[in-house]
Amino acid sequence: MSSRPIRAALLSVYHKDRLAPLVQVLRQHGVTLYSTGGTQKFLEDEGAEVTAVEDLTGFPEVFGGRVKTLHPKVFGGILHRRHDEADLAQAEQHGIPPIDLVVVDLYPFEETVASGADEADVIEKIDIGGISLLRAAAKNYRDVLVVSSRDQYEAVAQLLTAKNGATDLEDRRHYAAAAFATTSHYDTEIFGYLAQDTAVAGTALRVSAQPATPLRYGENPHQAGTFYGDLTALFDQLHGKQLSYNNLVDVDAAVALMAEFAEGPLACAILKHTNACGVAQAATLRDAYVNALSCDPTSAFGGVIIVNQEVDAATAAELNQLFFEVLIAPGFAADALPVLQSKKNRILLLQKPVVFAPKQVKTLLNGYIEQDADRQSEGPADFRTVTQSAPTDEETTALEFAGKICKHTKSNTIVLARAGQLLASGVGQTSRVDALRQAIEKARAFGFDLHGAVMASDAFFPFPDCVEIAGAAGIRAVVQPGGSIKDADTIRACDELGMAMVLTGVRHFKH
- Which residue numbers are catalytic? 139, 273
Q: Is 377 left (phi over 0), alpha (psi -120 to 50) or beta?
A: beta
How many residues are given for the chain?
A: 511
Show Cβ contacts of residue 8 under 8 Å, excluding neighbours closer than 6 positions.
31, 32, 33, 34, 77, 97, 98, 99, 100, 101
Q: CA gyration radius for the chain?
A: 30
What is the full DSSP assignment across 22-54? Answer: HHHHHHHTT-EEEE-HHHHHHHHHTT--EEEHH
Distance of CA 159 to the CA centre of its chain: 33
Task: Kindly give the pairing relationship between strand 212-214 and strand 166-167.
Answer: unpaired
Q: Cα–Cα–Cα angle for 451, 284, 277, nearest 5°?
A: 50
Distance of CA 383 to the CA centre of its chain: 33
**Whole-angstrom Cα distance, residue 498 to residue 381?**
23
Adjacent-strand bridge partners of 256? none
The conformation of residue 377, written as its DSSP 8-state character, comes to -
Phi and psi angles of residue 487, each rounded to the nearest 5 degrees, phi first: -55, -40
> At residue 40, what is the residue type?
Q
